[in-house]
A and B are shown apart, each in its own frame.
Chain A
Amino acid sequence: MSSLFHSTLIPCPSPNWREVGVRAEWRTIMLRIQNVTKTYPNGTQALKNVSFDVKDGEFLVVIGLSGSGKSTLLRCINRLIDPTEGKIFWDNTDITIASPAELRNIRRKIGMVFQQFNLVKRSSVMTNVLSGRLGYVNPWLSLVGIWPEEEKKKALQSLERVGIADKAYNRADALSGGQQQRVGIARALMQDPKLILADEPVASLDPVLSHSILQYLEQLNKEGITVICSLHFLDLVHRYATRVVALKDGVKVFEGSAQEIDRAKFKEIYGEEAQEVRAASL
């Protein structure tokens, strides 16, 4: 299995690869999705034989209509959903056959940001952010709510990075949608992630807030965190994606740069009746 990677294991010279100008092909493959198929118990085939690689430092955007399998794909990567067939390699280990303990160790390094933010609404912002660290700390102390000082400091730093340190002791549901999503990002940051999965991170937000959230993700990406993000609006895709994977009815129908998506490709991905809508025009 490890031989798979030998040809591509060229270390990334610097996290700031854009500035250094390292060509994309040289970078390390951090995630390999191999023939992944997901069939739900009710018979729905959400993913059909999907394969692609994700390289270190990419901002990979997954596009497709609602129900095309984007969410399922992202959840297969950290196994919130178990794929029916196929393999997913992460650092030379197959995630799909990882034991529960291994899986928790893998998940620690993969942050996730959700469309509905998925914060515990009645808990404080601080607790929500700290909970991103649950995979690292002493489980017994965490169960009684005892957190080391340095973790609290780290949580405040994470909140500072997304600009809402002043809201740390508010209840999560007292925050606006945009602020809640930033808490979601801060929670993912607590994991010291190598990869962030962002499932429609701006779809529940006012379109004018989309850029503010995506810019945080872009910033993290520039600091070396790989991002896999599903998005709806094509202009956002053009603006942020270093590469695009398109799904239609669970099948990968496109893989390439955003610029390659022309009118014909667009119709192929979204269907004949689709009209392009721009977030900026809303």
Chain B
Amino acid sequence: MQRSRIIRNVFLIALIVAALGISYNVTGVDFPRLFRDLPKGGPILREFLSPDVFTREMETRTIEIDFPIPCGSAPAESEVPASGPRLVPSVNCADERQKFTLEGFDLEPNSEVIIRWNLPDDRTMTAIRTQTDANGYFTSEVEARPIAATKDGKPSQLEVDTNTPVGGMKPSQALKDVVDAMFVTIFMALLSTTIATFVAAPLSFFAASNITRKGVAGTTIYYVFRSFFNLMRSYDPLLMASVFGFWLSFGAFPGFLALTVVTIASLGKLFSEAIEGIDSGPIEALQATGSNQLQTVVYGVVPQIVPDFISFIIYHWDINVRISTIIGFVGGGGIGFYLSEQINGFHYDRAGTAIWAIVIVVWAMDFLSAEVRKRLT
């Protein structure tokens, strides 16, 4: 007896250890990489942490000079003015891959400088960003890129923008876009929660044993609805969103549908459990007065479940804001979609704005729903 138990326990422990070992292997756990790859993650993290929230009104001035590559392929800039805002390259033409120094004089002081190539085919290619000093001077090393070579006798131009901040701060475009997308998400969650409530609230009575589970017909209905809710609940919202997404093509609407279906199941289950938890005394009392089934529900059940229902609804709205963020990632619209777009476009500062917005909204919803639920008794 004693021995067989020891054997059984040893066997169990061996099984658990083996399972953990397999899990470790398939996951490819490599904690040192966290530190090894820090240089890669660092800049992205920095951009995330410095979200694009405000911009200042900028005044941009542009100066350009012709710069033939290679030398002699086109006439070079004839003479450099001696005063005023001007660009002075150390050579007035260059061979491919030759490096030279570009200086700027008497530009706007303390401004952002963007040096770019204006290619012969009218495309532009940003080369370097730098800054002017208090005298409006900058110097920078530029490489004569092969792509900037002269074409059909038309040379590339070296173009320099100076961006000078004027006036006050204002919300950036990213912030405006994030706020818009956030509204879409919040209202998508609100609408799906509302519609789900209207569907789930009546249905939940059929899945409440103390109301429905009477007789053969009642028991059947009870099990049908209970299984329906359980089955629907087991589909992940993300999966559901993908299904609707393939069906209706991606956008806010399929995301909203997915959210609604999942919320119906989830609220239906929560509601039916709230109904099952009510005090049966008043029900008995109402039946004893000769009231019919529906009157008993309206006068005996409903007043008892209202606080629970409201609390579940708010709680689910809160959850749905979070879920719809994730659904947005698979094309469901709203802030999630914006976020995925920005990450795919390497605009990590805008992604940072979106992430901060999500954090703030989720926190606020959480706080709000907790406060409202506290007041419902």
Contacts and interface: CB of A to CB of B under 8 A. Distances in A.
Contacts of A103: 290
Contacts of B303: 120, 122-123, 127
Nearest to A133: B289
Judged by DSSP, the binding face of A is mixed
A107 B294 contact: no
A121 B298 CA distance: 14
Interface string B275-290: 0000101101111111
A112 B288 contact: yes
A134 B289 contact: yes
B298 A107 contact: no
B306 interface: yes
A134 B299 contact: yes
A122 B306 contact: yes
A219 interface: no
B288 to A, nearest CB: 4
A145 to B, nearest CB: 8
B298 A143 contact: yes
Nearest to B295: A134
Interface in A75-107: 78, 80, 103-107
Contact of B300 (A104, A120, A135, A187): A120
Contacts, number: 84
Given A107-B290, A191-B290, A119 B285 contact: yes
Contact of A143 (B282, B289, B295, B300): B295
Interface string B21-55: 00000000000000000000000000000000000
Interface in A101-145: 103-108, 110-112, 114, 116-123, 127, 131-136, 139, 142-143
Contacts of B300: 120, 131
B292 interface: yes
Interface residues of B, number: 21
A188 to B, nearest CB: 8
Given A120-B299, A120-B304, A143 B294 contact: yes
B291 interface: yes
A90 to B, nearest CB: 13
Contacts of A108: 289-290
Interface string A182-209: 0010010011000001000000000000
Most buried by A among B289, B300, B307: B289
Nearest to B280: A118
Contacts of B298: 142-143
B225 to A, nearest CB: 22
Contacts of B289: 107-108, 111-112, 131-135, 187, 190-191
Nearest to B301: A120
Contact of A139 (B282, B285, B286, B295): B295
Contacts of A118: 281-282, 284-285
B284 A139 contact: no
A100 to B, nearest CB: 8
A93 B37 CA distance: 88
Contacts of B279: 121
* In the A-B complex, the 7 residue pairs with the closest CB atoms: A135-B290, A134-B291, A118-B281, A107-B290, A108-B290, A118-B285, A112-B288
10 contacts: A103-B290, A108-B290, A114-B284, A121-B304, A123-B299, A123-B303, A134-B289, A184-B285, A190-B289, A191-B290
Given A135-B290, A142-B299, 17 more contacts: A80-B284, A104-B290, A110-B288, A112-B285, A114-B281, A118-B282, A122-B303, A122-B307, A127-B303, A131-B285, A131-B291, A131-B300, A134-B286, A134-B289, A139-B292, A143-B295, A143-B298
